Structure 1
């Protein structure tokens, strides 16, 4: 059984909801998933020991929130090369944060990324719950 770590930053709680739904999708697939708030990840060793790392942040004024930026710099030392990865986030109108996280994980960390980042306005809108759970299942499929 593989184990995934999902780390999220949030302003209103929406990105946290998405993180938990992604974790459900991973668990539905028979794997373990641990969800942590970005402020609970203190050092690069906190990112080790997982088969997948999934990172999420809301987009605020066209950017990811500062806590996720700090984590991305720290994660460069976490030896994530080749691990399964995914990126997600909630947004109001633009949604750039998940794309920037995804590109960093793919191009800088050289992770084995799912096909695209998950961008949702809200977990409860327009099928967001199913989309987030399906994203978790897609991550789980990469374990095989």
Structure 2
């Protein structure tokens, strides 16, 4: 059984919802998962010991939040090269943050990223069965990368 870290920031609780459903998908793939808010991750050493990583942040003003940018600069120091990765987030209208995070993980951290690309959901749809399934499928797909 492989171990996946879902590290995320949620301001209003919407990204929390996504993280929980993605974690269900990882578990359904037969892997272990740990959910941690980025504020609980104090150094790059806190990122060690995982086989896969899924980072999440909502989009505010067409970008990720400042604290998530700081988290990514810290994560760059961790041994993530070649690890499986994915990125997700919610938005009210534009949704750029997951794509920026995904690209950072792929091109700066040199991670093997999910073929599904970044997962971005509109906040207005998060309570739908379709959104729940999309999140679970995303977690399952990352779990399949670890087989």
Alignment of 1:129-140 (within 5 A): 129-140=132-143
Match of 2:56? 56
1:124 aligns with 2:122: no
Match of 2:29? 29
Distance 1:121 1:104 in 2: 22
Gaps of 5+ in 1: none
Instruction: For residue 131 of structure 1, report the CA deviation from its aligned partner.
Output: 0.2
Instruction: For residue 66 of structure 1, report the CA deviation from its aligned partner.
Output: 1.4
The ranges of structure 1 where at least 4 consecutive aligned residues each deviate by more than 3 angstroms after the TM superposition are none
Match of 2:97? 97
Instruction: For residue 79 of structure 1, report the CA deviation from its aligned partner.
Output: 1.1
Match of 1:38? 38
SS in 1 for 2:72: helix
TM-score, L = length of structure 1: 0.97
* Root-mean-square deviation over aligned CA pairs: 0.9
TM-score, L = length of structure 2: 0.95
Gaps of 5+ in 2: none
Task: State the aligned residue count.
Answer: 144
